[in-house]
Structure 1
Amino acid sequence: MSTENAAIANRDEEPARRAYHLNVVKQQIDEAPSWLVSLIVHVVLLLTLALMSAAPGVVGRIELTLQQDVDESTSDLAEFSIEPIELERPPSNELTESEVELETLAFAPQVELVSVVPRLETLDHWHPHVEIKFAEPTVSNMFRGRTGAMKQKLLKEAGGTATTEDAVLMGLEWLRHNQLSDGSWSLRGPYADGARNENRVGATAMAMLAFMGSGSTHRGGKYQKELWRAVRWLVQKQDSQGFMALDAAPHERMYAQAQGMIALCELYAMTGDSWIRPYAQSAVDFAAKSQSPTGGWRYQPRFDSDTSVTGWFVVGLKSGEAAGLEVDRYVWPKVETYLDSVSANRQNDYYAVGYSYKVGDARSPSMTAEGLLCRQYMGWRRNAPAMGHGLNTLAANHPIDVGQPDVYYWYYATQALHHFGGPLWTQWNEQLKVVLPARQIIRGKERGSWPPHNDAWGRHAGRLYTTCFSIYCLEVYYRHMPIYNHVPAGSTVGT
């Protein structure tokens, strides 16, 4: 028989073969005792009920003991068992703490919290077809003065001295000695005079910024090891939305978040280390999404604004731009709107050119310095009337006062005046480079730190806070490249 004929024969025999097997099965079922049929039915039923009632995850061991009471020949016990089976766990509707949706974060203890923060599309109430025009400040190379010959050049030109550098070094050594074993820092110790509240992310970011300001990174410099341990700790605190500060007190979380963003953006800008980029970008994205409809930031994402928290986020986002990260361009007109709402325009009145903490509050020196620094980063020209008038009023009416230390105000005023340059900066720096080194502890366990006792916020924020902010002030000569060319203060050239 040919192969083709054999195939045809097999095809023709297939229906007959199937019918034969069906008849055999039917006959076996008909001849089977009733107890066996009942057994099969009950086993199937019990299995179905077990699977339906078991909790998601693992089905445990099920034992069925069956006894036939009709036929003595089958009186032996029949035992079946089902071993545990791993089932795929369904997605949970509950979110872990580290993956809380942005809309559900409720951070503000000093305001009545809303139960649901409405979802805000980043761009929907802004008009993409409207061209945004700002005079861009020079921020693309803002960190390149921290090392080498450029650092020495800037230090000399801007008025730094060997004394200011010695103070910076002693301060950094104090920070190094107080780093915890996991790579982080604490606001509460192990040193004396810690803060009232713990904020590990904020403390770690502040210490990192002090080390980086002097030129170290996790890839090089005197404090490479300390920064490597710190950045590894910091990125582990970041969740999938870019948020890092869940463990801080509610009214301090957004401060810490912004400080952590600045640290990651600066470290990426200084090194170009590719593994840091996604963490820095995620923090930048969180900042844009958490911006309030009023244009700034405060204790709770997308809810309310104040100038203090907003200033940190502005610096962080500008650091992100300098690092080449993607920053939503519609952030900036909203910030401008907020800053306009807490400032005034009349030049004949100090309080009219100053800035307030919130809309409707009185203007203050620290918020004025912070607001003007934001304007500098966002593109105000040096010859803008409100810029010169505001800074002149600060320098004249609120100079550095050793009897009433306020490192928060000094920090922002020092930066804004340094960028502005000219006689105003020279006048300010003559006090700065003397007063701050003189206040530093130079002996004992806390050698290198700055005391918090009489500082405006020191008793609340603690010794690490006053030390870090004092270091920032003394690193100002090279910490950031000047936004404006240093031309005479009376010049009308806007650069």
Structure 2
Amino acid sequence: MSDVPLAERKLKVAAPLAPGEWPCTRATSSAGADSAPRVNNHAQTPRQNDSLSVLLQVEDALPLGIWMGKRGLLVSVSCLAQLFVHEAPAWMVSMVVHMVTLVTMAMVTVSEPVQYKPQHLIVTPPEKKVEKIVDVADKLPTTLDESVVVEKTSLDSKVEQEKKFIDPNNEPEAAPATAAETIESGMHHVAPGDILKFVGGSGGSPFSGRAMARNIKKVEREGGSKSSEQAVSKALKWLANHQLPDGGWSFDLVRCPTCNGQCRNPGTLANARNAATGLALLPFLGTGDTHKVSRKYKSTIHRGLQYLVNRMRVGSHGGALNESGGTMYSHGIAAIAICEAYAMSKDPDLLTPTRAVLGYICYAQDPIGGGWRYNPRQKGDTSVVGWQLMALKSGYMAGFDIPPLVVERTSLFLDGVQRNGGAAYGYTTPGQGEATTAIGLLCRMYLGWKRDNPAMERGVRMLSKRGPSPSNMYYNYYATQVMRHWEGEPWENWNRQMRDQLVHSQAKQGHEEGSWFTGDGDLGAPTGGRLYCTAMATMILEVYYRYMPIYRAESVEQDFPD
């Protein structure tokens, strides 16, 4: 058998074409020998507008030929085109030409106009080594998806290093933060179009960036005493000793390994961990301590904030901290702790969680009546409203622009439960309960009522006449803030009774030393237990410091924007 490949035994590859020569004008014999070319009347350069020209123009856009066999016999598309034109009927040629034209046009794609999105300036803070409060903060998306849950991360290893290598008593004092650093840190990660716009504001504590050294003379001028200072210090120690290993707190003190039932009167709200943690954190912040700067409790605060952010459920409406045991109470209390911590520290890692919890409060408001209650968008009650509005005010003081509609709806709710023209307030209907009246008056202060408001003046007179309660810490907490902001003789008379009552009723010995329990006169005492009573009493004794933004005079002097 011949060694010549099959393709070459049948056909020989033609010689190169001469200039102007068409492939089909050259023929080969059946034996494969070259023969004289036959004259082809159509083997001329085609006219520009005839069918062949159109086909050849199409050919230019296609592969030059089809390769067959190992040695590569090239069958020109041009030959096929000429044969088709000469042999096929005219109507078929026309049809094919049109079909090819349509197919070619279909292959041409026109891209949509490019839409250039505006570029937004994002100011980033100066590079410096800072201790991360959470790894998950940067993972919170700008557009939140309800199905996403914040990944629970382990506590920052730096906290453990701090516990091992840093002596809190010898911790160096941090340098004061400059105004530029404060603003730039707050702007970190801000993106336009968020539920709440961060506007910079004047919300940061003037003491942020340095450790708090309380001046006893200044405290005494504001209404405190050496005894009240000692009571606060003992209370903070008790609270720190009852922090759980995971960084949070529980109203049920039996769950605390360091206590394990040594303290009487544990609470029953075991499933309200977020509320317990937020409430326990606030007294530390009330003394000016933060997770960034503290002589004794930096790690304690850091771990508590870490716990709350890790427990946050992120969705399209923001970051939720409500829970089965504490409902929207838990969210409001925990939100205040996060907002106050951010406002005081200007830690950029807390910016996104702060925005998220505020956004959820705005979503959860009753769109008709304007209040808040146990579940989102439920018809409100004054007690839950107090915590949510306090968080919103804290967020505003921290530099967040609260939607005016949310503020208007809150005023609408208060209008619906007020009595005596706004001097007294009920729970869900018009009334004059002692705790709800104190809450309503404080809310009115946050919403812009001033000392010259007749209803506000009448309400303060009612609180002064009633005086502090020996057992209702909830009422005492809100009423003390109202009187502190009102100032003058009503405040001085109230404070002497309130301060001395708390100093004398604090536990003085044993594992309970530094704590309070006020009995059943407060509806929150049996469920919140000793942890609840201790946190509330401590915050009452801290109003002299005005370290937390919600305690500062600006909280009632600066109105929400219209």
**Deviations 1:13-62 (CA, angstroms, capped at 9, x unpaired):** 625559x99xxxxxxxxxxxxxxxxxxxxxxxxxxxxxxxxxxxxxxxxx
Q: Does 1:386 align with 2:443?
A: no
Match for residue 155 of structure 1? 219
CA distance in 2, matches of 1:142, 1:381: 23
Match for residue 400 of structure 2? 325
Equivalent of 1:436 in 485, 497, 502: 502
Against the structure 1 CA distance between its residues 330 and 275, is the aligned structure 2 distance closer, same or farther, given a 3 Å change threshold?
same
Against the structure 1 CA distance between its residues 358 and 270, is the aligned structure 2 distance closer, same or farther, given a 3 Å change threshold?
same
CA distance in 2, matches of 1:229, 1:400: 34
Conserved in 2, the CA contact under 8 Å of 1:376 and 1:483? no
CA distance in 2, matches of 1:297, 1:274: 29
Q: CA deviation at 1:193?
A: 1.5
Q: Does 1:248 align with 2:324?
A: yes
Conserved in 1, the CA contact under 8 Å of 2:419 and 2:425? yes
Against the structure 1 CA distance between its residues 356 and 272, is the aligned structure 2 distance closer, same or farther, given a 3 Å change threshold?
same
Match for residue 531 of structure 2? 464
Q: CA deviation at 1:377?
A: 1.1
Against the structure 1 CA distance between its residues 357 and 154, is the aligned structure 2 distance closer, same or farther, given a 3 Å change threshold?
farther
**Letter matched to residue 66 of structure 2:** E
Equivalent of 2:282 in 209, 224, 236: 209
Q: Does 1:231 align with 2:297?
A: no
CA distance in 2, matches of 1:142, 1:379: 21
Q: CA deviation at 1:291?
A: 0.6
Match for residue 477 of structure 2? 411
Q: CA deviation at 1:316?
A: 0.2
CA distance in 2, matches of 1:14, 1:370: 88
Conserved in 2, the CA contact under 8 Å of 1:372 and 1:387? yes
Q: CA deviation at 1:453?
A: 2.7
For the pair shown, the structure with the greater C-alpha radius of gyration is 2
CA distance in 1, matches of 2:527, 2:484: 28
Against the structure 1 CA distance between its residues 176 and 150, is the aligned structure 2 distance closer, same or farther, given a 3 Å change threshold?
closer
**Letter matched to residue 417 of structure 2:** V
Q: CA deviation at 1:208?
A: 0.7
Against the structure 1 CA distance between its residues 246 and 375, is the aligned structure 2 distance closer, same or farther, given a 3 Å change threshold?
closer
CA distance in 2, matches of 1:160, 1:357: 32
State the TM-score, normalized to the length of structure 2. 0.60
SS at match of 2:388: helix
How many residues in Structure 1 have an aligned counterpart in Structure 2? Answer: 363
Match for residue 451 of structure 1? 517
SS at match of 1:433: helix
SS at match of 1:368: helix
Trace 1:272-291 onto structure 2 (pairs within 5 A): 272-291=346-365
Conserved in 1, the CA contact under 8 Å of 2:485 and 2:553? yes
**Letter matched to residue 353 of structure 2:** Y
**Letter matched to residue 463 of structure 2:** L
CA RMSD of the aligned region, Å? 3.3
Q: CA deviation at 1:454?
A: 3.9
Equivalent of 1:180 in 222, 235, 244: 244
Q: CA deviation at 1:140?
A: 3.7
CA distance in 2, matches of 1:424, 1:461: 30
Greater Cα offset, 155-164 or 299-308? 155-164
SS at match of 2:401: coil
Equivalent of 1:166 in 225, 230, 234: 230
Match for residue 342 of structure 1? 417
Q: CA deviation at 1:220?
A: 1.2
Conserved in 2, the CA contact under 8 Å of 1:202 and 1:256? yes
Q: CA deviation at 1:383?
A: 1.3
CA distance in 2, matches of 1:143, 1:448: 29
CA distance in 1, matches of 2:322, 2:478: 26
Q: CA deviation at 1:301?
A: 0.5
Identity %: 33
Q: Does 1:424 align with 2:490?
A: yes
Q: CA deviation at 1:399?
A: 1.1
The unaligned stretches of length 5 or more in structure 2 are 1-12, 24-62, 74-144, 151-193, 196-200, 255-262, 558-562
Q: CA deviation at 1:373?
A: 0.5
CA distance in 1, matches of 2:540, 2:238: 16
Equivalent of 2:434 in 356, 359, 365: 365
**Deviations 1:287-332 (CA, angstroms, capped at 9, x unpaired):** 1111102111001111110100001011100100111123222211
Q: CA deviation at 1:160?
A: 0.5
State the TM-score, normalized to the length of structure 1. 0.67
Q: CA deviation at 1:430?
A: 1.0
CA distance in 2, matches of 1:217, 1:266: 9
Name which structure has the greater RCO, CA cutoff 8 Å, separation 6+.
1
Match for residue 264 of structure 2? 192
Trace 1:455-494 onto structure 2 (pairs within 5 A): 455-457=521-523, 458-479=525-546, 480-483=551-554
**Deviations 1:209-267 (CA, angstroms, capped at 9, x unpaired):** 01110111001112111001111111001111344435432xx2101101111111111
The unaligned stretches of length 5 or more in structure 1 are 22-93, 100-121, 124-137, 347-351, 487-495
Q: CA deviation at 1:269?
A: 0.5
**Deviations 1:408-450 (CA, angstroms, capped at 9, x unpaired):** 0000000000000000000101101110011100101111100
